[in-house]
């Protein structure tokens, strides 16, 4: 016979009712960690109501009822520590007149890892997940695919004893790739089993388009080559200007040029910003260059210092 704990609330009514017009429970489901937990469920009904537990072996309930225009009350749940590795469940059943509400109660086991399906991080915005265990655990950072660089990712701590531990995850450097994000795995060892948490770091947070770059541009006296079909270019259009970013595969740096207009007159002076990024270091400068030629796809310019710029323009404008 299932364990039963009964809570009752009685309202004064001017006429008999068998079905409540107001009958709600909040939250509709209760989720608990493995620790000893206390939680509450708010109940509203315009009829008397009672509550019981389906199992009751690891969780108990009590009620606090107040008389209001509708019968409002709170069910208090008290759960014991879950020393098992597996999650356990129970159900709170609330009956008011002819209506029944079933509220699932779930409690994690001590061997559980709480994390989103895909944990996303950036250099400036770390993330975290929680480990519950009744034994010591350790973790390491692994490549999602063979040969992937994992030096950009850091996590702390990578080991702890039994109990409740928050692991903070962050990126050491910015992801300069304009097309693809990158990912790595934090692999936790809990006794004889392992749990993988996949961590993703997106590229730049603006909607650059996937295209191939071409052309040559000069920065501080050096020629940077953007090979057709090899380098990556991202373009973004604004109301009166556009920007682009070029990454050469295998390089740890990118060049970002912004403030370019859609059209220039020959001989006109163009002013734009050049930003160089390498890991978490960046430098910026403003460039003034004379427009030598422009067609539908390419812009040729030369700065006063003699540096040449051959730039892919924003297509489809």
Identical fold, 7-107 and 113-201:
yes
Strand residue runs (E) in 112-157? 113-114, 119-120, 127-133, 137-143, 153-156
Q: In the CATH hierarchy, which top-level class contains the domain 7-107?
A: mainly beta
- Which CATH superfamily is 113-201 part of? Immunoglobulins (2.60.40.10)
Written as six digits, the tokens of 116 are 């989103």
Asked if 179 contacts 233 with a C-beta cutoff of 8 angstroms, the reply is: no
Question: Taking every pair of C-alpha atoms in the chain, what is the biggest distance, in angstroms?
Answer: 94
3-state secondary structure of 251: coil
pLDDT at 101: 93
pLDDT at 29: 93
Cis peptide before 157 (omega within 30 of 0): yes
Mean pLDDT (10-residue bins), the chain, 317 residues: 49 60 91 84 88 90 64 86 83 92 89 74 84 84 90 93 87 71 88 84 56 44 50 71 72 77 87 78 82 78 74 58
pLDDT at 141: 96
pLDDT at 276: 76
110, 111, 117, 119: CA torsion to nearest 10: 80
284, 285, 289, 295: CA torsion to nearest 10: 20
Asked if 233 contacts 213 with a C-beta cutoff of 8 angstroms, the reply is: yes
pLDDT at 223: 47
What are the two backbone dihedrals, phi and then psi, of residue 238, each rounded to the nearest 5 degrees? -120, -175
Q: What is the C-alpha separation between 317 and 304, in angstroms, rounded? A: 29
pTM: 0.46
Give the distance, in angstroms, between the CA of residue 141 and the centroid of all CA atoms in the same chain: 19
Written as six digits, the tokens of 144 are 């999602």
Domain extent listing, the chain: 7-107, 113-201, 211-312
């Amino acid at each position: 016979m299932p364990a039963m704990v009964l809570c009752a609330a009685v309202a004064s009514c001017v006429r008999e009712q068998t079905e409540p017009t107001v009958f709600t429970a909040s939250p509709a489901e209760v989720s608990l960690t493995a620790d000893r937990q206390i939680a509450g469920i708010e109940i509203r009904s315009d009829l008397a109501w009672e509550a019981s537990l389906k199992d009751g072996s690891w969780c108990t309930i009590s009620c606090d009822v107040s008389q209001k225009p509708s019968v409002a009350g709170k069910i208090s749940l008290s759960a014991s520590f879950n020393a098992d590795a597996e999650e356990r469940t129970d159900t709170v059943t609330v009956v008011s007149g002819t209506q029944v509400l079933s509220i699932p109660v779930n409690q994690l086991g001590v061997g559980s890892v709480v994390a989103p399906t895909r944990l996303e991080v950036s250099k400036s915005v770390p993330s975290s997940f929680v480990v519950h265990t009744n034994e010591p655990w350790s973790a390491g950072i692994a490549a999602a695919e063979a040969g992937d660089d994992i030096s950009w990712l850091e996590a702390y701590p990578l080991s702890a004893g039994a109990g409740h531990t928050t692991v903070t995850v962050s990126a050491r450097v910015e992801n300069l790739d304009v097309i693809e994000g990158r990912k790595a795995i934090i692999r936790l060892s809990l006794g004889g089993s392992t749990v993988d948490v996949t961590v993703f770091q997106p590229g730049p947070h603006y909607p650059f388009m996937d295209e191939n770059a071409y052309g040559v541009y000069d920065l501080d006296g050096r020629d940077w080559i953007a090979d057709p079909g090899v380098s990556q270019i991202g373009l973004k259009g604004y109301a009166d200007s556009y920007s682009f970013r070029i990454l050469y595969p295998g390089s740890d740096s990118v060049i970002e040029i912004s403030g370019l207009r859609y059209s220039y007159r020959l001989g006109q002076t163009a002013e734009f910003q050049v930003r160089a990024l390498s890991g978490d270091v960046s430098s910026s400068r403003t460039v003034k260059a004379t427009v030598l030629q422009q067609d539908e796809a390419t812009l040729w310019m030369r700065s006063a210092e003699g540096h040449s710029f051959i730039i892919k323009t924003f297509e489809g404008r």
